[in-house]
Amino acid sequence: SNGLSKSDMHEILEDARSHGIRNILALSGDENSNSDFPYASELVRWIREEFGTTFVIAVAGYPEGHPDSNYEESLHHLKAKVDAGADFVITQLFFDVNLYEKFVLDSLKLGITIPIIAGVLPLQ
């Protein structure tokens, strides 16, 4: 959502809906940008408020911690995304299954019970 306004996002999601797209991966923008959604939790909450259950919303999880925060902060940000209405989590790519297992268990301790799907490698 980097740099996008609510109006921009509404247009994008209306277009997605009109083309039958129902699955959205909600990623955060840059908290220092002019985006109306500096955090993914804000984007997820807004999508739920504007579109209800039209979309299945996936969010990112970080078994090794987000690059811009530590592990504990990353878990609390994930909890905020889940509380905002996320349907499932896709984790960042990882190579140590023990980190994934710890992440899932720590997520459960915070009350995160939605599915957590193991790592993808984004290609650009």
End-to-end CA distance of the chain: 17
- Would you state the structure tokens that stand for residue 117, as one six-digit string? 């799907």
Percent of the chain clearing pLDDT 90 (strictly above): 69
- Rounded to whole angstroms, the Cα distance separating 117 from 23 reads 15
pLDDT over 60 (residue 1): no
pLDDT over 60 (residue 42): yes
Place of tokens 């500096």: 38
- Strands in the chain per DSSP E: 23-26, 56-61, 88-92, 116-120
